[in-house]
Structure 1
Amino acid sequence: MPRVPGPSPRVQPRDAGPPPLLSVVFWVVLAATALTYAVHAGTSPGPSIARITVFGANVALVGALWLVLPWRRTRGWRGPAAVVFLVATFTLGPAGSDEIHQLLPLISIANLAFVYGMRTAAVIVGCLCCGLFLSVVKVYGRGVLDAVAQTVPLVVFAAFVLGMTSAVLEARRRREEAQRLLARIRELTVAQERARMGAEMHDSVGHHLTVIKMGLENAERFRHRRPDAAWDEVRQAKDLTRQALADARRWARALRPLALDGHVGSAALQQLAASFDGTGLKVSFEVSGEELPLEPDVELVLYRVLQEGLANAVRHSGARRVRGGLAFHDDRVVLTVTDDGGGRDREAHGGFGLGSLAERARAVGGALTTGDRPGGGFEVRAELPVHPGAAP
């Protein structure tokens, strides 16, 4: 029995950096801040050389930190860079930016939430607001009302930014969780498919090997008293060995991945159909209509439908010819697999393969139908949307 794969190891997502639009806003505001200060510095009386140097260094520090800021939880020196960036954006005001820079501290608050989480960001912002309040009162010697007037807008805007950031973080968390669940579902689907194939391989090849063993044991018993019967058993064992080998090769082909020798789409299906040559079937495959790019889930269902239709023709129908057809339409693709055998095997057990494929077809918004053909033989027909979720 194939081992069901365990949970995939959680890989830390790559830090993709800030959203492009946010980067544009940052650089525009930083450039406007520097340009405004330069204009004021050219007036008379302008700031001293020392103040100009401090402001220029502050602007350069903010720009340099932006290039290395992390946007996910991280370890190492890049994490503290978010706190330094927050302080650097706030000090642009005392350095003389004339309030043009005020959007930059809000961006830095959002960055803090991305890197440290909402609680830590809220604590840091709270400490910063307290520091601003005290600096207005103690350093600049203004009254409490002035300090409140300076602090309250920061608190309001910071709360707004943290709320928006919280929504973005929750959306990111849910997306990553959905991606992990999707990967887990795919792993379980592969495990289920391999378990089914393993059971069917045991039934087919195992049955042949059991009969071969019994035949050889009979030949051993008959070799002296009934040598002709013994040789009959040996010949039958040889025939069964060839059948078992053909079954083993067929299952080895069935376990091959979707992309056969680098082929996908109709090329992969044609390659799969050609791989059944040598099983006693004459297999043909045709493609009609203008081929459209298919989603991976749709392509996988088509591949498995053709695979199951060909395997059933070999196992149950007694067919000599099998014809596969792939037809592309505007918004859907239709795959048919027909044979000239005896139709549905009424005594065949299981049927799990086609039933599972019908569920897969419904999962991508399509349908799978099977049944005897009016003129004889059996047909499997899958009609799927080009894009999953669309009605065929």
Structure 2
Amino acid sequence: MLGAVVAVNLLDAGYAPYRGLFAVNIALVLGLWLVLPWSRGHRGRRLASPAFLVATFALGLTGSAGTHVPLTLLAIANVAFVFGMRMAAAILAGQAALMSAIPLAVGRPMADVLREVGFLVVFAAFVLGMVASVLRARQLAERVRELTVAQERGRMAAEMHDSIGHHLTVIKMGLENAERFRDRRPEAAWDEVRQAKELTAAALADARRWVRALRPLALDGHLGSAALERLADSFSGTGVAVSFDVTGTERLLGPDTELVLYRVLQEGLTNALRHAGARFVRGSLAFEKGKVVLVVADDGKGHGQGRGFGLSSLAERVEALGGTLSSGNAARGFELRAELPA
């Protein structure tokens, strides 16, 4: 698009006196394009959006022979992403008014003016329609993310209730029994106290596991394989040896892919600690052609047939990203394997 603007200017001898100014204008447009924000989150760069709009509009004055209009529409679309649809519509209305008033003031035919304004209105409606669709898609994606987080929190709450809640209930009953036995059967009372102490340690270990599980994806600023490695390291104090390695050339992954890989590793480690009775767990992340593969394997006793809620939920999330999740008993222990497009 910008190449067409430059080509028209160079071929039109009538714009020769303005080519120096035109070159500066083109350089400004290119420089601003590199720093343009495309969402409201980049507050430090928001001023680049109106500056880019002015720079593209100025091309019409420095010699673009009208070929700058698509660039100006692109700039208005950027304004809609950064400042909202109302601001973009107001700018379009102002531009249409200028395109009507100035030519008519210098005596241009009404038919030519209406044709140019009509061209602007038609393409502006198309551009703003596309922007509205993208913004709506972003809202839906954010809503899906919120629902996913709510679903996962509900699952975690249920599992915490089943594990820690069960321990606390038994501890309470044991201490009540110890209180009843303390005079008549002191040995039985001490047995209840010892059992309560053991259950307290188990409940504390469960609580620590859930604290690890609730940590965010970015651990101290780490993402990708670094975040997964830190998650694996955080399980090192549980009495189970945990290792993690990466093969292949690492490349940038989408945030949804990173989050799902994080949850797969988290589920594999937690299941190995809670159910498998494993002594060693190995996580392996492999970057292959067109995909990334995460395998979590333990040397425990394996799992029963079928998937629990956690694995079923993970499988749905993996499949939603176009990947596959498989799990089952291996030659020694249990293996969880996730393949995702990369």
TM range (shorter): 0.7 to 0.9
Matching of residue 295 in structure 1 with residue 326 in structure 2: no
Matching of residue 189 in structure 1 with residue 202 in structure 2: no
CA distance in 2, matches of 1:84, 1:163: 15
Shift of 1:87: 5.1
Q: 1:320 pairs with 279, 295, 302, which one?
A: 279
CA distance in 2, matches of 1:287, 1:155: 63
Q: Secondary structure at the match of 1:73?
A: helix
CA distance in 1, matches of 2:321, 2:92: 44
CA distance in 2, matches of 1:12, 1:248: 35
1:166 aligned residue: 125
User: Does the CA-based 8 Å contact 2:326-2:336 persist in structure 1?
Assistant: yes
**What amino acid maps onto 2:184 in structure 1?**
R
Between the two proteins, what is the percent identity of the paired residues?
56
CA distance in 1, matches of 2:54, 2:166: 66
Q: Secondary structure at the match of 2:243?
A: strand
Query: What do residues 30-76 of structure 1 show as CA deviations (whole Å, max 9, x unaligned)?
Result: 2349xxxxxxxxxxxxxxxxxxxxxxxxxxxxxxxx9xxx764249x
1:364 aligned residue: 321
Given the superposition, is the C-alpha separation of residues 29 and 332 from structure 1 closer, same or farther in structure 2, using an over 3 Å criterion? same
Given the superposition, is the C-alpha separation of residues 161 and 221 from structure 1 closer, same or farther in structure 2, using an over 3 Å criterion? same
Task: Specify every segment of 5 or more residues in structure 1 that has no aligned partner in the other structure, as ranges.
Answer: 1-10, 34-65, 100-149, 387-392
User: Does the CA-based 8 Å contact 2:100-2:113 persist in structure 1?
Assistant: no
Highest RCO, 1 vs 2 (Cα 8 Å, sep ≥ 6): 1
Larger Rg: 1
CA distance in 2, matches of 1:340, 1:84: 70
CA distance in 1, matches of 2:62, 2:136: 39
Query: What do residues 305-357 of structure 1 show as CA deviations (whole Å, max 9, x unaligned)?
Result: 000011111111111211111111122111111111111135x9x71111111
Given the superposition, is the C-alpha separation of residues 28 and 276 from structure 1 closer, same or farther in structure 2, using an over 3 Å criterion? closer
CA distance in 2, matches of 1:218, 1:187: 45
User: Does the CA-based 8 Å contact 2:301-2:334 persist in structure 1?
Assistant: yes
Q: Secondary structure at the match of 1:278?
A: helix
2:335 aligned residue: 379
Matching of residue 354 in structure 1 with residue 295 in structure 2: no
1:31 aligned residue: 62
User: Does the CA-based 8 Å contact 2:99-2:113 persist in structure 1?
Assistant: no
Query: What do residues 78-130 of structure 1 show as CA deviations (whole Å, max 9, x unaligned)?
Result: 95x8766655554544665x85xxxxxxxxxxxxxxxxxxxxxxxxxxxxxxx
CA distance in 2, matches of 1:172, 1:162: 15
User: Does the CA-based 8 Å contact 2:290-2:341 persist in structure 1?
Assistant: yes
1:345 aligned residue: 304
Q: How does 1:248-327 map to 2 (within 5 A)?
A: 248-327=207-286
**What amino acid maps onto 2:266 in structure 1?**
Q
CA distance in 1, matches of 2:54, 2:145: 35
CA distance in 2, matches of 1:372, 1:28: 66
Given the superposition, is the C-alpha separation of residues 236 and 291 from structure 1 closer, same or farther in structure 2, using an over 3 Å criterion? same
Q: How does 1:49-88 map to 2 (within 5 A)?
A: 72-74=85-87, 86=96, 88=98
User: Does the CA-based 8 Å contact 1:220-1:230 persist in structure 2?
Assistant: yes
Given the superposition, is the C-alpha separation of residues 218 and 292 from structure 1 closer, same or farther in structure 2, using an over 3 Å criterion? same
Matching of residue 221 in structure 1 with residue 177 in structure 2: no
1:46 aligned residue: none
TM-score, normalising length: structure 1: 0.65
Shift of 1:154: 3.3
Given the superposition, is the C-alpha separation of residues 229 and 18 from structure 1 closer, same or farther in structure 2, using an over 3 Å criterion? same
Shift of 1:160: 3.1
CA distance in 1, matches of 2:167, 2:297: 27
Q: RMSD of the TM alignment (CA)?
A: 3.2
Task: Specify every segment of 5 or more residues in structure 2 that has no aligned partner in the other structure, as ranges.
Answer: 1-39, 65-74
User: Does the CA-based 8 Å contact 1:265-1:293 persist in structure 2?
Assistant: yes
Given the superposition, is the C-alpha separation of residues 357 and 89 from structure 1 closer, same or farther in structure 2, using an over 3 Å criterion? same
